[in-house]
Amino acid sequence: MMTRWLSSLVLLGTLAGCASAPLQPIAQTGTACSEKRSDRLLFGMNTPTGPVDETQWQAFLADTVTPRFPDGLTVYRTQGQWRGASGQVEREESRMVEIVHEDDPDGRKRIAEISAEYKRRFQQEAVLVISTRAQACL
């Protein structure tokens, strides 16, 4: 037990040191790196009429998300919780979509459109959007 605890402490110390260092792209011959924006959109799957099912989710991705960002995105299945307007903590299955794109007004507009359409279609109070600067290397 003590060995596991010490190993965890060493790992945390190592990770803390990494957290303060700026991210640097790995240089490779022929690799092009550029400044981008990474948006993570978190979608709750509970609605007033029941959960969003897989068919509805795939349709939303196909007709709302993919046309706005056809170059690619990543979808994660998650479990989330948040305090809604009712004041109660809501726990639900969720999806996170991560999209790396140009940091320009058009990209930000497309992200806002995706959020607005999900809220409209599935009667949601909110879609959490987390935006960060990113360095993408292809």
* φ, ψ dihedrals at 134, nearest 5°: -140, 155
Place of tokens 């400044």: 35
Which residue, among 66, 70, 65, 84, has the nearest Cα to 128 in the 3D structure?
84
Q: What is the CATH classification number for the domain harbouring 119?
A: 3.30.70.120
Please indicate, yes or no, if residue 5 is contained in any of the structural domains.
no
51-101 pLDDT tens trace:
999 999 999 999 999 999 999 999 999 999 988 888 999 899 999 999 999
Please give the tally of structural domains in the chain.
1
8 domain-assigned: no
109 in a domain, yes or no?
A: yes
Expressed as residue numbers, the domain containing 102 is 26-137
Please, what sign has the CA dihedral across residues 98, 99, 104, 110?
Answer: negative
Q: Is residue 61 part of a domain?
A: yes
Q: What is the mean pLDDT of the chain?
A: 84
Report pLDDT for 19: 47
Is the pTM for the entire model greater than 0.85?
A: no
Is residue 23 pLDDT above 70, yes or no? no
pLDDT for residue 109 is more than 70: yes
38 within a domain of the structure (yes/no): yes
